Amino acid sequence: MKTEIIISCILILGLLSTPAFADLNHPGIKWEWKIYAANYTYIVTTVSNYDMKNVTLNSNNKELIFTGNSTYTDSIAEIQIPNNLIGGSLTVTQDGKQISPIIINGTDSSTVMLKFNQTGITTTNVVGTTYLPEFGGVSTLVMVISIGMVIFTLKTRKF
């Protein structure tokens, strides 16, 4: 009985001291980018094992542009984009060439996972089919006017 407990403890300690994931030669760095669109501020999160220099928004094209610099091959990046900023069907290009990354669509955001083997400056473009909440500011105005009209017609209506 004591032997079993000792062996179990040793196994548990061994498992806890072992890294949960494979050892990466170049661990990732997390950045949170504030993107200003209309009257909204969105946070786009990137985790990559290369230097993410800048993230910009091209609202006309419903596009986020990520600029990075990698000094080694085996580059990876995970990009989390709020669906209210750009959403729908996402298309991703890297240095002008369309690529097929892993895209996971969630309820509030989409996650784009990239892996590439080039070094130097890299530009990644993520283009969506939707941009900002449609009718964002207009819907509130329409709702207030509609409620006002209903109340007005109820008060002025005679039976």
5 occurs within a structural domain? no
4 occurs within a structural domain? no
36 occurs within a structural domain? yes
Number of structural domains in the chain: 1
Please say whether the beta carbons of 106 and 78 come within 8 A.
no
Which segments of the chain have a pLDDT < 70? 1, 6-27, 133-144, 148, 157-159
Say how far apart CA 34 and CA 151 lie, in whole Å: 41
pLDDT per residue as tens digits for the range 41-70: 999 999 998 999 999 999 999 999 999 998
100 occurs within a structural domain? yes
Domain harbouring 64, CATH code = 2.60.120
53 occurs within a structural domain? yes
pLDDT per residue as tens digits for the range 123-136: 999 999 988 865 55
59 occurs within a structural domain? yes
**Residue 18: predicted pLDDT:** 44
110 occurs within a structural domain? yes
Please say whether the beta carbons of 122 and 80 come within 8 A.
no
Which residue range is the domain that position 112 belongs to? 16-153
φ, ψ (nearest 5 deg) of residue 94 = -130, 120
**Residue 118: predicted pLDDT:** 86
7 occurs within a structural domain? no
Say how far apart CA 68 and CA 76 lie, in whole Å: 11
